[in-house]
Amino acid sequence: MPAEHPRIRTFEEYQDAYQRSVENPEQFWSEIAEPFTWRRKWDTVMQADLVGGHNKWFSGAKLNITENCLDRHLEQRGNKLALIWEPNDPKTRGLRYTYRELYQEVCKFANVLHNNGVEKGDRVCLYMPMIPQLAIATLACARIGAVHSVIFAGFSANAIADRINDAQASVVITSDGLDRGAKQIPVKRVVDEALETCPSVRGVIVVEHVGWPVHMQEGRDVWYHDEVAEVEKTCPAEEMEAEDMLFILYTSGSTGKPKGVVHTQAGYMVWTDYTYRNVFQVNENDVYWCTADIGWVTGHSYLLYGPLLAGATTLMFEGVPTFPSPGRYWEVIDKHGVNVFYSSPTAIRSLMAHDINHVLAYSLDSLRVLGSVGEPINEEAWHWYHTHIGKDRCPIVDTWWQTETAGIMISALAGITPSVPARAGLPLPGVQPVLLNQEGQEVEGNDAEGYLAIKQSWPGIIRTTYGDHERCRQTYFGVYPGYYFTGDGARREENGLYRIMGRVDDVINVSGHRFGTAEIENAINQNSHVVESAVVGYPHDVKGQGIYAFVICQDPVDPAEAPRVEASIIETIVAEIGRIAKPDKIQFVSGLPKTRSGKIMRRILRKVAEGETNNLGDTTTLLDPDIVKEIVEGRK
Ligand code: WT7
């Protein structure tokens, strides 16, 4: 029988846990870690290094995270539902897996991976729709100690190839095709194109999902169903060291190509489980639904690992909020009796825009807790969510965290700590946020603003960026040595509640998807018409931020030609990154506002994109001040 994991139930218990986590983190985390299934316990709890970024947790311990997600639940929860799958099309039959069934499917696929030559430490890339096989294959990698690298199935062939080559993945798991709302994507064809430039890949395992004809390359490609038919239903779990890699997940930064954020076995397990239980306060018979795709960190930590570690029932949805109608989320909630619902401000804002009758058609009686993640939730969206979805009875947890933090850092604990519109709230036990000024000094007291940084290690802290630790050190620990630097600005307001103000670097957050402005510029510059470009984010009603691109072409663009050139540039971006990075606005310009040293003054471009053209600030230091006038006049 699994040992009991205690959970915080009152505000006093939160305060007590927080206090203990600050005073003696090692004692605190050793108690939290105790009830998991360990092959061997740790020698040291915490080795913190916020200067060089060499952070370790539970060193010396041996474990397998899937024994904690699956095996240890079998005795008590073998017949309990682990995974409910809701398909894209409501007319298609869904699927349900008990803990025992999921355990068997994971073991079978783990054996398939072995049969296809995958060994402990190998990197496996997954590029798939939101179907049960994605969850199963991800866990199967963890079972045999392979490192999974899931790539959201909206990225282009070039983006996949970059990620596969960076990780030197040997096997790719994919499907014939994908249904997302009314759209279909020929997933396997995208993978085939990517693999033309990926010499490390020896094998491809293909799930038959939509039934499209695909090209199967002899000696490389095999069918999932053929392979699974021939293997045992059990597979011993590989014994992993605490700091062995569990996964790589690529995310954008302010410079260069996306980097592979690395998380490891023990710390990730303890952190996602602890944060999941305490933030969402999920009860034994609850149905929990996180709407994120497994291709993002939210899907990793709070659709897959967190809920399964806690023995919860997790719902996985293949589709989109507006298909076949904008009532789909609410229909799914009623259909499956969802108690805890975790979604994004973008989804909420896009649904708010539709007739309220799409909501009123459903009871939503089962809901008890609502969550939000990915970007700041504005007050209007918060109130709509609270009133119309939560019927004024469900606390909202606005959870602030990042790919690099592995799990929730600042958030209300549902029903326990304060939930105030537009405030993420208080830090979780184990999290010590600070606000830093430009000089890197801590700003004290409430009603203060600064760069959000964290001054103590926590079990989910980023371990490295794959293949390039120096990049990790510089980005997160080199800015203000001794602190983990988040890249966000924040305010500490009444009662110490944190309000997240958004990125302070050149990262933009579009519908909760993260892009570097340089990454989009590099893509645009690949287009043969283009000489130079500058990309900025601007406030967007639904997406949070929109993408505004200022582009200089080889030859002046004739207004009649503009739509064609624009389409060509968009095509290039879709090929380089994927359709999720399409700019909302492209403005052709003859020059960019640059300083005499040649630096683009993005501040001015941001103001233009925001429409704040009366308040551009000092432009006298520009190389060519006249260009500003042209840009303002041509504003889209
Ligand atoms: C960035 C991290 C965390 C999983 C999804 C995104 C922004 C995230 C919130 C929130 C305000 C938020 C931050 C952060 N962000 N959650 N509740 N309130 N901003 O993960 O792609 O790594 O992006 O998303 O700017 O730095 P990610």
Give the CATH number, domain containing residue 149: 3.40.50.12780
> Collapsing DSSP states into helix, strand and coil, what is residue 239?
coil
Instruction: State whether 374 and 407 are in the same domain.
Output: yes
State if residue 344 touches ligand 1 by the CB under 6 angstroms criterion.
no
Instruction: State whether 460 and 362 are in the same domain.
Output: yes
Instruction: State whether 448 and 341 are in the same domain.
Output: yes
Q: Whose CA is nearest to atom 27 of ligand 1?
A: 402
| CATH at 578 | 3.30.300.30
Number of domains the chain contains: 3
State if residue 424 touches ligand 1 by the CB under 6 angstroms criterion.
yes
Q: Residue 407 Cα, ligand 1 centroid: separation in angstroms?
A: 11
Answer whether residue 602 is part of any domain: yes
Q: Is residue 527 a contact partner of residue 403, using CB atoms and an 8 Å limit?
A: no
Answer whether residue 4 is part of any domain: no
Answer whether residue 172 is part of any domain: yes
Instruction: State the residue range of the domain holding 386.
Output: 11-64+244-502
pLDDT on residue 259: 96
Q: Residue 546 Cα, ligand 1 centroid: separation in angstroms?
A: 16
Looking up tokens 């209300």 gives 412
Q: Whose CA is nearest to atom 1 of ligand 1?
A: 402
Q: Residue 375 Cα, ligand 1 centroid: separation in angstroms?
A: 5
Q: Whose CA is nearest to atom 8 of ligand 1?
A: 374
Instruction: State whether 74 and 60 are in the same domain.
Output: no
Answer whether residue 53 is part of any domain: yes
Q: What is the atom index within ligand 1 of the atom nearest the CA of 410?
A: 17
228 closest CA partner among 132, 322, 109:
109
Q: Residue 512 Cα, ligand 1 centroid: separation in angstroms?
A: 7
Q: Residue 59 Cα, ligand 1 centroid: separation in angstroms?
A: 29
Instruction: State whether 233 and 301 are in the same domain.
Output: no
Answer whether residue 267 is part of any domain: yes
Q: Residue 425 Cα, ligand 1 centroid: separation in angstroms?
A: 14
State if residue 510 touches ligand 1 by the CB under 6 angstroms criterion.
no
- Residue to probe by mutation, ligand 1, list 252, 461, 514, most atoms within 8 Å of CB: 514
Q: What is the atom index within ligand 1 of the atom nearest the CA of 486?
A: 26
- Residue to probe by mutation, ligand 1, list 400, 404, 426, 465, most atoms within 8 Å of CB: 400
DSSP-derived secondary structure letter, 168: T
Instruction: State whether 353 and 413 are in the same domain.
Output: yes
Q: What is the atom index within ligand 1 of the atom nearest the CA of 292?
A: 5
State if residue 373 touches ligand 1 by the CB under 6 angstroms criterion.
yes
State if residue 376 touches ligand 1 by the CB under 6 angstroms criterion.
yes
Answer whether residue 33 is part of any domain: yes
Q: What is the atom index within ligand 1 of the atom nearest the CA of 507?
A: 25
Instruction: State whether 566 and 482 are in the same domain.
Output: no
Q: Whose CA is nearest to atom 19 of ligand 1?
A: 375
Using left for φ > 0, alpha for ψ between -120 and 50, and beta otherwise, residue 518 falls in: alpha
Answer whether residue 3 is part of any domain: no
- Residue to probe by mutation, ligand 1, list 298, 402, 486, most atoms within 8 Å of CB: 402
- The neighbour count for residue 218, using CB atoms within 10 Å, is 5
Instruction: State whether 186 and 311 are in the same domain.
Output: no
Last residue of a domain, one of 502, 532, 567: 502
Q: b/e string for 223-247 if b means 16 or more Cβ within 10 A? A: ebeebbeebeeebebbebbbbbbbb
485 closest CA partner among 23, 45, 51:
51
Q: What is the mean pLDDT of each run of 10 residues along the chain (636 residues)?
A: 79 98 98 98 98 98 98 97 98 98 98 98 98 98 98 97 98 97 96 98 98 96 97 98 98 91 98 98 97 98 98 98 97 98 97 97 98 96 98 98 98 98 97 97 96 98 98 97 98 97 95 95 97 96 96 94 96 97 96 91 94 85 88 92
Q: Is residue 540 a contact partner of residue 579, using CB atoms and an 8 Å limit?
A: no
Q: What is the atom index within ligand 1 of the atom nearest the CA of 399?
A: 17
Q: Residue 105 Cα, ligand 1 centroid: separation in angstroms?
A: 33
Last residue of a domain, one of 215, 238, 261: 238
Instruction: State whether 401 and 529 are in the same domain.
Output: no
Instruction: State whether 84 and 167 are in the same domain.
Output: yes
pLDDT on residue 1: 42
Sheet with 433-436: list strands edge to edge: 433-436, 448-454, 484-492, 498-503
State if residue 500 touches ligand 1 by the CB under 6 angstroms criterion.
yes
Residue 301 identity (one-letter amino acid): S
Distance, CA of 457 to CA of 34 (rounded, Å): 19
Instruction: State whether 54 and 82 are in the same domain.
Output: no
pTM for the model: 0.97
Instruction: State whether 477 and 535 are in the same domain.
Output: no
Answer whether residue 1 is part of any domain: no
Last residue of a domain, one of 205, 238, 271: 238
State if residue 326 touches ligand 1 by the CB under 6 angstroms criterion.
no
